[in-house]
């Protein structure tokens, strides 16, 4: 047990003992029992009790998220089993980028040519980009995390699962909420939500907020990285046109302008080409290029070696950095209740995104590898639903259309042999289109037995127009300049059977499939041969098939809830990122790989796991929550890209081998939360403790140890809420990462390539905050 874990254990025991004592006093005064509220979910496109739904779901209200100090999407990792909501995806160099994994399935590459592996939805609208996935949860009514492939009802890129965010509905009366908080690192967080009932048929809610906080990684020039500087506005108008027709009009806008991602130096390969070139160019003593010798291990900023490391919160880079995002969109949905049994729904949306991310990938004063992204994109979606619902039969029939475009300009700066810096331009235009039809039917045979069957046909059309060249020779294209197009399609069925043994116990067995379309690689940095282009430029679709056995129990007079599932997933043609192509090895040296990150299809992976979630409310003033996730996720088969003749076109990098653990797939992950409300004559005081545990975690499929979380991590968050027994205000005092654990949250490695770098990002250290909330 580490020192931090011992401190946590002692602190938890002390707090629990204190709360138990308070509970004894309260129980003596008020001999009543608590109860667990009913949670309504929309995982099957209709509203139903979570305990009746044969899917592994974790659902929270906005208030429950605030109680747990889950103020942005990244913090969901700490309270949802087998969910990893990674941020600071190094390739993008943008603080708002996301790497979302559920049960070991997701995607590490956040760029526009690659689709996410977990579907993110806001008010029923699919968000088709990984950058912008990290966001604040300021005006959220609920969050639902659906684990396992959701290929029937949600379809596009929900091969790992789906996360559904629902914003707050307008109120019937004038009023609202205002919140203001401050804390460590000059934190300022403000929010106002206002309900404006315009008439009996129109209700409007307007909200806006900002968050500013200094970064926690300091560069040599004093710039703070990992800072926060965002603001957002939201509007939702509900129009009750008739008793049967309701319209919803939603608009949002957010903007971020920050210094850059909190990446720091992790390691460097002193024998790799570009570190030696950059060191020779800078005048590192004893380095002459070309040379087969490594860069000497001396403390000199002219030398690219492991002594460039400055610790987890200091960066020795010098290249200009930025992290910018403008994200906006609007949706119009209409719901028509034709009869008590039939509902028609239309959801139309448009979204635009513009983002930039500049990154000094080597994190040294030398120019070994820098990337500069400038991306403008848009998407348009349309979904139609026909819903039939009776006590015996529920059916959903729907159609979905998705149209997406993006213009990407990526500049890669390298240091080749003298006399100067090489700049490659990785420009790319992306055009994606998807159509789907789906249906699902549930038959309640009797009060105990329910059967569900469904399926979806999806067709993705992907197109890429890469304009890749070296600035020194712009007319020499690294692949021929033209549109590259392909079509990917799949039928993804699902089925389940559930049986309710009593009012308090339900079990289910389900089968589901999901798929994610292929696409086109768009980063080359060198002219490809025809064989390399044929083998590397396109990657194929991936598929997952999952069998799940689960149960949902409400016990002890509805004061104890226990939900669980065990599952097995076959994951084929997994899309993995690696650096390539690799040159054949020359003994005794390993193969040297190209700088550019490529996606290829790994072959097959197997994922076995289990989940448990518990809630205990023994008294109205007590609340105890716990969850545990288990994963055994590894590569079973590895395919090497081949040419038209079936011969290996490239050599895969060292370390990419069968048996590797999948990225963002810790073996164990858990959460424990406890809260108690003590009452005085005029106030109620609620202390709360939340512990989250995460086992060793790799951030790439090669399992590079230099960028991995090699030790298990336990994080403690604590808070206390003070509020009147019946009043509009509350004050929250809290501390995140109370034991000041130092642990990585993302990483990127190019150690086996000519650039030879590795970079890593750590979580923010311990921080304090105070929050005042007022409802009016």
Predicted local confidence at residue 27, as pLDDT: 37
Question: Could you give the percent of the chain with pLDDT greater than 90?
Answer: 77
Residue 588 is predicted with a pLDDT of 53
- What is the per-residue pLDDT for 25? 37
The residue with tokens 């400055």 is 310
Phi, psi (rounded to 5 degrees) for 534 = -65, -35
The pLDDT of 300-320, averaged and rounded, is: 95
Q: What is the pLDDT of residue 2?
A: 46
For the ranges 106-120, 169-183, 227-241, 299-313, which has the lowest average pLDDT?
106-120
pLDDT reading at 150 higher than 80: yes
Query: How much is the pLDDT for 462?
Result: 96
Among 24-33, 642-651, 707-716, the range scoring the smallest mean pLDDT is: 24-33
171: CB partners within 8 A, 6+ apart: 195, 197, 203, 205
Query: Around Cβ 173, how many Cβ atoms within 10 Å?
Result: 8
pLDDT digits over 691-729, tens only?
999 999 999 999 999 999 999 999 999 999 999 988 899
Which pTM was predicted?
Answer: 0.92
Mean pLDDT along residues 480-496 = 96
Residue 533 CA to residue 540 CA, distance in Å, equals: 14
Q: What's residue 113's pLDDT?
A: 85
| Closest C-alpha among 387, 394, 399, 381 to residue 344 | 387
Structural tokens at position 715: 């994080």
Q: What percent of the chain has pLDDT over 70?
A: 92
- Domains defined along the chain, listed by start: 3-270+305-775 (2.40.170.20)
Summary mean pLDDT of the chain:
90
Could you report the per-residue pLDDT of 438-475, keeping only the tens digit for each? 999 999 999 999 999 999 999 999 999 999 888 888 89
pLDDT exceeds cutoff 70 at 23: no
Residue 33 has pLDDT above 80, yes or no: no
What is the secondary structure of 228-272 as a DSSP string? EEEEEEEEEEEEE-SSSEEEEEEEEEEEEEES---EEEEEE-TTS
Query: Running DSSP on this structure, what letter comes out for residue 54?
Result: S
pLDDT score at 638: 86
Res 4 pLDDT > 50? no
Structure tokens at 711: 């030790």
Q: Is the pLDDT of residue 581 over 90?
A: no
pLDDT, position 417 = 55
Residue 277, classed as helix, strand or coil, is helix
Does residue 650 surpass a pLDDT of 70?
Answer: no
CA 67 to chain centre: 21
Convert the pLDDT of each residue in 520-543 to its tens digit: 988 887 788 887 788 788 999 999
In DSSP terms, which residues pair with 337 in a beta bridge?
A: 343
Q: Find out whether 336 and 244 touch, Cβ atoms under 8 Å.
A: yes
Whether residue 325 contacts residue 132, with contact meaning beta carbons closer than 8 Å, is answered with yes
Is there a contact between 587 and 621 (Cβ–Cβ < 8 Å)? Answer: no
- Evaluate whether 398 touches 367 at the Cβ level (below 8 Å): no
Residue of 579 and 468 predicted with greater confidence: 468
Q: How far is CA 524 from CA 82, 370, 598, 696, in A?
A: 34, 15, 8, 32
Residue of 628, 638, 634, 730 whose CA lies nearest to 669: 628
pLDDT digit string (tens) for 52-110?
Answer: 999 999 999 999 999 998 999 999 999 999 999 988 888 889 999 999 999 999 999 88
pLDDT at residue number 422: 75
Q: Hey, what are 68's tokens?
A: 């747990």
pLDDT at residue 31 tops 60? no
pLDDT of 343-378, one tens digit each?
999 999 999 999 999 999 999 999 999 999 999 999
Query: Which of 72-81, 495-504, 647-656, 681-690 has the weakest average pLDDT?
Result: 647-656
Choice among 121-125, 203-207, 748-752 with the minimum mean pLDDT: 748-752
| Start-end of H helices in 427-579 | 530-536
Note the pLDDT of residue 20: 39
How confident is residue 642, by pLDDT bands cut at 50, 70 and 90? low
Confidence at residue 648, expressed as pLDDT on a 0 to 100 scale: 65
Report the length, in residues, of the chain: 776
At 356 the pLDDT is 96
Whether residue 129 is predicted with pLDDT greater than 60 in this model: the reply is yes
Per-residue pLDDT reduced to its tens digit, 380-403: 999 999 999 999 999 999 999 999
């Amino acid at each position: 047990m580490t020192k931090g874990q011992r401190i946590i254990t002692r602190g938890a025991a002390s707090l629990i003992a204190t709360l138990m004592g308070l509970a004894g006093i309260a129980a003596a005064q008020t001999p009543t029992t608590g109860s667990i509220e009913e949670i309504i979910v929309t995982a099957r496109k209709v509203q139903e009790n979570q305990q009746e739904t044969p899917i592994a779901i974790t659902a929270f209200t906005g208030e429950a998220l605030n109680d747990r100090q889950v103020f942005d999407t990244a913090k969901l990792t700490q309270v949802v089993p087998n969910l990893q909501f990674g941020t600071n995806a190094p390739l993008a160099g943008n603080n708002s980028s996301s790497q979302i994994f559920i049960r070991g399935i997701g995607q590490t590459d956040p760029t526009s040519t690659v689709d996410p592996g977990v579907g993110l939805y806001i008010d029923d609208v699919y968000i088709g980009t990984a950058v912008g996935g990290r966001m604040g949860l300021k005006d959220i009514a609920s969050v639902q995390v659906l684990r396992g492939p959701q290929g029937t009802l949600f379809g596009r890129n929900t091969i790992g699962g789906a996360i559904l965010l629902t914003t707050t509905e307008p109120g019937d009366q004038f009023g609202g909420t205002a919140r203001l908080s401050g804390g460590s690192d000059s934190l300022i967080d403000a929010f106002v939500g206002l309900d404006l009932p315009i008439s009996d048929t129109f209700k409007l809610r307007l909200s806006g907020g900002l968050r500013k906080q200094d970064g926690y990684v300091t560069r040599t020039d004093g710039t703070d990285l990992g800072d926060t500087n965002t603001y957002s506005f939201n509007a939702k108008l509900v129009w009750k046109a008739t008793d049967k027709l309701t319209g919803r009009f939603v608009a949002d806008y957010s903007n971020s302008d920050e210094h850059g991602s909190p990446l720091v130096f992790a390691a460097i390969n002193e024998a790799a080409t570009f570190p030696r070139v950059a060191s020779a160019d800078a005048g590192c003593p004893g380095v002459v290029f070309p040379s087969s010798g490594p860069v000497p291990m001396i403390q000199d900023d002219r030398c690219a070696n492991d002594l460039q490391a400055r610790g987890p919160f200091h960066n020795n880079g010098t290249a200009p950095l930025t992290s910018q995002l403008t994200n906006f969109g609007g949706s119009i949905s209409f719901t028509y209740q034709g009869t008590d049994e039939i509902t028609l729904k239309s959801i139309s949306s448009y979204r635009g995104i513009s983002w930039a991310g500049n990154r000094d990938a080597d994190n040294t004063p030398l120019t070994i590898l820098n990337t500069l992204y400038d991306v403008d994109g848009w998407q348009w979606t349309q979904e139609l639903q026909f819903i039939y619902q009776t006590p015996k039969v529920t059916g959903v029939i729907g159609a979905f259309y998705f149209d997406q475009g993006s213009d990407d300009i990526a500049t890669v700066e390298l240091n080749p042999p003298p006399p100067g810096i090489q700049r490659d331009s990785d420009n790319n235009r992306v055009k994606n289109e998807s159509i789907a039809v789906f249906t699902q039917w549930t038959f309640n045979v009797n009060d105990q037995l329910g059967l569900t069957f469904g399926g979806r046909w999806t067709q993705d059309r992907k197109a890429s127009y890469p304009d890749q060249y070296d600035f020194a020779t712009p007319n020499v294209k690294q692949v021929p300049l033209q549109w590259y197009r392909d079509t990917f399609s799949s039928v993804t069925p699902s089925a389940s059977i559930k049986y309710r043994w009593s009012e308090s116990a339900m079990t289910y067995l389900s089968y589901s499939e999901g798929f994610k379309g292929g696409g086109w690689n768009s980063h080359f940095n060198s002219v490809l041969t025809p064989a390399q282009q044929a083998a590397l430029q396109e990657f194929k679709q991936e598929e997952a098939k999952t069998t799940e056995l689960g149960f949902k129990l409400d016990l002890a007079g509805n004061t104890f809830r226990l939900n669980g599932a065990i599952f097995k997933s076959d994951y084929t043609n997994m899309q993995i990122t690696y650096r390539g192509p690799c040159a054949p090895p020359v003994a005794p040296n390993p193969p040297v790989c190209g700088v550019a990150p490529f996606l290829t299809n790994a072959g097959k992976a197997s994922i076995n796991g289990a989940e448990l979630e518990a809630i205990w409310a023994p008294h109205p003033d007590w609340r105890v929550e716990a969850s545990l996730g288990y994963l055994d996720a590894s590569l079973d088969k590895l395919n090497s890209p081949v040419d038209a003749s079936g011969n290996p076109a490239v050599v895969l990098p060292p370390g990419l081998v069968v048996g590797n653990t999948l990225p963002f797939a810790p073996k164990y992950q858990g959460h424990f939360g406890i809260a108690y409300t003590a009452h005085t004559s005029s106030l109620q005081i609620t202390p709360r403790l939340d512990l989250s545990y995460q086992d060793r975690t790799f951030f790439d499929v090669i399992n590079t140890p230099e960028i991995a979380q090699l030790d298990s991590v336990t994080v403690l968050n604590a808070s206390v809420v003070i509020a009147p027994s019946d009043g509009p205000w509350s004050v929250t005092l809290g501390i995140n990462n109370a034991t000041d654990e130092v642990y990585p949250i993302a990483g990127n490695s190019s150690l086996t390539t000519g650039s030879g770098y590795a970079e890593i990002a750590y979580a923010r250290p311990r921080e304090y905050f105070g929050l005042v909330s007022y409802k009016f």
